[in-house]
């Protein structure tokens, strides 16, 4: 029994929602009104969708400081229609007085935290299904549609059903050659693409806390593939160091109480799953779903002609570093195209400075713009009808990355790189010293 003045133990999700709702505590299943700290849209989901709705409402953006526009889906423009979409986003953002427009410098889920917009404790909405990426920083972030976004932009608020928490606890440490992408592909197969039940998924355990921030971002990003509303990881010193390195002010970081933003001992969860990270092998998802995942040996030998290192789950700096481990001193196989689309300009520049990008180019990689590219299927990079590809993207649904006749397997950056060298899907551990 809870004593007067001592609230019941709460999950991280409940604490984040309670803060946004201005309440001491919230109860899963109830509906509350939350104040939004930040909203984010990209060129596809943003101005062209919400501008007509705001015009119909006779409303303006409630706070131009709190709405970020990122151009990433239709850049570089592949046709006049794409040019019109991007131009409209730029012009509307200017006319609306928006202070934060990140134009052609990377994928929204990567550049948003790079710019210091995603901090522990914040409540954020995004106009994209992979918006749960922000949960890696201990923020409550989730994706919404254009109608909901218009409501947020007009009022600065949104209704929310307080979620239950599904805990995914990973004991031990990942083996060399295994990474966050493998964890998520395994979970897609084990729990299914509805396993998140549109609740809050929280990742915990030694294997999770040992991950660098960009690997944590891969975990929370792909909670969308589990059908969860958001994915969360409790912030810690790793979080604060990464934010400091991106330029977040020391006084801002000093004000963050990381000890508060974590699930209390004894807090009730809807489900509690436990996994042994040390026994997890590399995973590969066969066409045409992330749920078709299995240990790499089951797909080994499948001939590929494209190896695609891109997307918010597969071309961040950490991802490129992993691929470079495999590719240094090697060349891609004859007949294979290795495409690399760095997830952000900042990550590309750092990869260039440290020699990571040189290792990829020396192996034969083709460098693509800092954008969603083939992952979103809107740009000039699309897979043809006969393509057989392995990609570090989050989804391999029919036609998503090009012609519906293409076959796309999903793997980690390590597996993509190893497969590019071999010309067929390959266990990356065979190429790591």
Q: Which two tokens stand for residue 20?
A: 């946004």
98/340 Cα distance (integer angstroms): 31
Mean pLDDT of the 339-366 span: 98
pLDDT for the residue numbered 380: 82
CA distances from 239 to 119, 121, 211, 288, 418 (A): 9, 12, 10, 34, 30
315/330 Cα distance (integer angstroms): 19
Res. 4: pLDDT tops 80? no
Res. 2: pLDDT tops 80? no
Question: Predicted confidence band at 116 (pLDDT cuts at 50, 70, 90)?
Answer: very high
Q: Which two tokens stand for residue 413?
A: 């950056």
pLDDT for the residue numbered 248: 97
Question: Predicted confidence band at 5 (pLDDT cuts at 50, 70, 90)?
Answer: low
Chain segment 148-204, per-residue pLDDT in tens: 999 999 999 999 999 999 999 999 999 999 999 999 999 999 999 999 999 999 999
Question: Predicted confidence band at 6 (pLDDT cuts at 50, 70, 90)?
Answer: low
pTM (2 d.p.): 0.97
363/330 Cα distance (integer angstroms): 6
Res. 74: pLDDT tops 90? yes
pLDDT for the residue numbered 46: 96
Chain segment 268-315, per-residue pLDDT in tens: 999 999 999 999 999 999 999 999 999 999 999 999 999 999 999 999
Written in H, E and C, the secondary structure of the chain is CCCCCCCCCCCHHHHHHHHHHCCCCCCCCCEEEEECCEEEEECCCCHHHHHHHHHHHCCCCCCHHHEEEEECCCCCCCCHHHHHHHHHHHHHHHHCCCCEEEECCECHHHHHHHCCCCCCCCEEEECCCCHHHHHHHCCEEEECCHHHHHHHHHHCEEEEECCCEEEEEEECCCCCCCCHHHHHHHHHHHHCCCCCCCCEEEEECHHHHCCCHHHHHHHHHHHHHHCCCEEECCCCHHHHHHHHHCCCCHHHHHCCCCCCCCCCCCCCCCEEEEEEHHHCCCEEECCCCCCCEEEHHHCCCCECCEEEECCCCCCCHHHHHHHHHHHCCCCCCCCCEEEECCCEHHHHHHHHHHCHHHHHHHCCCEECCCCCHHHCCCCCCCECCCCEEEECCCCCCCCCCECCCCEEEECCHHHHHHHHHHCECCCHHHHCC
Question: Predicted confidence band at 1 (pLDDT cuts at 50, 70, 90)?
Answer: very low
297/171 Cα distance (integer angstroms): 24
Mean pLDDT of the 23-35 span: 98
pLDDT for the residue numbered 56: 97
Mean pLDDT of the 362-366 span: 98
């Amino acid at each position: 029994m809870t004593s007067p003045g001592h609230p019941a133990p709460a999950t991280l999700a409940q604490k984040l929602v309670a803060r946004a709702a201005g309440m001491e505590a919230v109860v899963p299943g109830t509906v509350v009104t939350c104040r939004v700290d930040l909203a984010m849209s990209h060129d596809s989901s943003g101005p062209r969708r919400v501008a007509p709705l705001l015009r119909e409402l006779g409303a303006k953006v409630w706070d131009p400081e709190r709405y970020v526009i990122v151009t990433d889906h239709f850049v570089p423009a592949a046709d006049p229609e794409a040019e019109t979409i991007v131009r409209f986003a730029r012009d509307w953002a200017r006319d609306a007085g928006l202070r934060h427009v990140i134009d052609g410098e990377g994928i929204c889920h990567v550049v948003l935290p790079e710019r210091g917009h995603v901090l522990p404790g914040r409540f954020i909405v995004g106009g994209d299904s992979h918006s749960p990426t922000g949960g890696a920083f201990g923020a409550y972030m989730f994706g919404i549609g254009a109608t909901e976004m218009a409501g947020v932009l007009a009022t600065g608020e949104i209704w929310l059903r307080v979620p239950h928490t599904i805990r995914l606890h990973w004991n031990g440490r990942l083996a060399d050659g295994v990474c966050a992408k493998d964890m998520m592909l395994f979970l897609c197969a084990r729990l299914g693409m509805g396993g998140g039940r549109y609740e809050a998924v929280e990742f915990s355990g030694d294997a999770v806390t040992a991950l660098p921030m960009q690997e944590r971002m891969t975990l929370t990003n792909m909670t969308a593939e589990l059908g969860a509303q958001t994915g969360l990881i409790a912030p810690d010193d790793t979080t604060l160091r990464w934010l400091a390195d991106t330029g977040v002010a020391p006084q801002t970081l000093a004000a963050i109480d990381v000890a508060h933003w974590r699930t209390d001992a004894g807090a009730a969860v809807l489900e509690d799953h436990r996994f042994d990270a040390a026994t997890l092998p590399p995973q590969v998802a066969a066409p045409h779903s992330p749920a078709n995942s299995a240990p790499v040996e089951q797909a080994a030998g499948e001939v590929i002609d494209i190896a695609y290192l891109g997307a918010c789950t597969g071309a961040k700096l950490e991802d490129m570093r992993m691929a470079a481990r495999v590719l240094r001193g090697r060349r891609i196989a004859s007949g294979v195209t290795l495409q690399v689309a760095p997830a952000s300009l900042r990550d590309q520049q750092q990869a260039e400075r440290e020699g990571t990008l040189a290792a990829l180019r020396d192996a034969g990689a083709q460098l693509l713009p800092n954008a969603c590219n083939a992952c979103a299927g809107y740009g000039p990079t699309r897979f043809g009808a006969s393509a057989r590809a392995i990609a570090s993207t989050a989804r391999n649904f029919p036609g998503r990355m090009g012609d519906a006749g293409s076959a796309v397997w999903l793997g980690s950056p390590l597996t993509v790189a190893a497969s590019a060298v071999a010309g067929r899907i390959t266990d990356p551990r065979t190429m790591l010293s």
